[in-house]
Amino acid sequence: MLSVEERAWRTRRLEMIKRYEETESRADFIHEAWIWRILSEKANPDRSEVVEVLAKARELKGLAPAEAAVLLNNRDPELREEMFASARRIKEQVYGNRIVLFAPLYVSSPCVNNCAYCGFRHTNRAVSRRTFSLDELEGEVRALTAQGHKRVIAVYGEHPESDADFMCRSIERIYAAGNGRGEIRRVNVNAPPLAVDEYRTLKEVGIGTFQVFQETYHHETYRRMHPANTLKGSYRWRLFALHRAQEAGIDDVAIGALFGLYDWRFEVLGLICHALDLEREFGIGPHTISFPRVEPALNTPFTTRPSHLVNDEDFKTVVAVLRCAVPYTGLILTCRERPELRREVLGLGVSQADAGSRIAVGGYTEMEREQIPERQQFQLADTRSLDGFIYELCRDGYIPSFCTSCYRAARTGCHFMTFAKKGLVRHFCIPNAVLTFQEYLLDYAMPRTRAVGQRIIAQYVARFAEQLPKRVGRLEELLQRIKSGERDLRF
Residue numbers of the site for ligand SF4 (CB under 6 A)? 111, 113, 115, 118, 120-121, 157-158, 232
Residues sharing a CB contact under 8 Å with residue 104, sequence separation 6 or more, in sequence order: 152, 153, 155, 190, 334, 354, 357, 358, 359
Give the separation between CA 235 and CA 196, rounded to whole angstroms.
17
| Shortest distance, position 261 Cβ to ligand SF4, whole Å | 11
Which CB sits closer to ligand SF4, 120 or 240? 120
Q: How far is the CB of 260 from ligand SF4 (least distance, A)?
A: 13
Q: How far is the CB of 129 from ligand SF4 (least distance, A)?
A: 9
Q: Name which of 100, 114, 129 is nearest 400 in CA terms.
A: 100
Q: Which of 407, 207, 374 is nearest to 299 (CA)?
A: 374
DSSP states of 391-457 as a string? HHHHHTT-EEE---HHHHTT--HHHHHHHHHTTTHHHHHHHHHHHHHHHHHHHT--HHHHHHHHHHH
User: CB of 175: closest distance to ligand SF4 in angstroms?
Assistant: 24
Q: How far is the CB of 223 from ligand SF4 (least distance, A)?
A: 14
Query: Which is it for the CA torsion 215, 221, 226, 232, positive or negative?
Result: positive
- Return all residues near 344 (Cβ < 8 A) that are at least 6 apart: 316
CA distance 344 to 330: 17
CB nearer to ligand SF4: give 11 or 480. Answer: 11
> What is the identity of the amino acid at 258?
L
The string of DSSP letters for 250-290 reads: ---EEEEB-BTSS-HHHHHHHHHHHHHHHHHHHS---SEEE
- Rank residues 159 and 265 by Cβ distance to ligand SF4 and give the closer one: 159
Residue 322 CB, nearest approach to ligand SF4 (Å): 22
Between 186 and 232, CB nearer to ligand SF4: 232
Q: What are phi and psi of 384, to 5 degrees?
A: -65, 155
| Backbone φ, ψ for residue 326 (5° rounding) | -130, 75
Minimum distance of ligand SF4 from residue 110's CB (angstroms): 9
Of 42 and 129, nearer to ligand SF4 (C-beta) is 129
- Is the CB of 108 or the CB of 351 nearer to ligand SF4? 108
CB nearer to ligand SF4: pick between 192 and 285? 192
| Nearest distance, CB of residue 232 and ligand SF4, angstroms | 5
Q: Which residue number, 111 or 168, has a Cβ lying nearer to ligand SF4?
A: 111
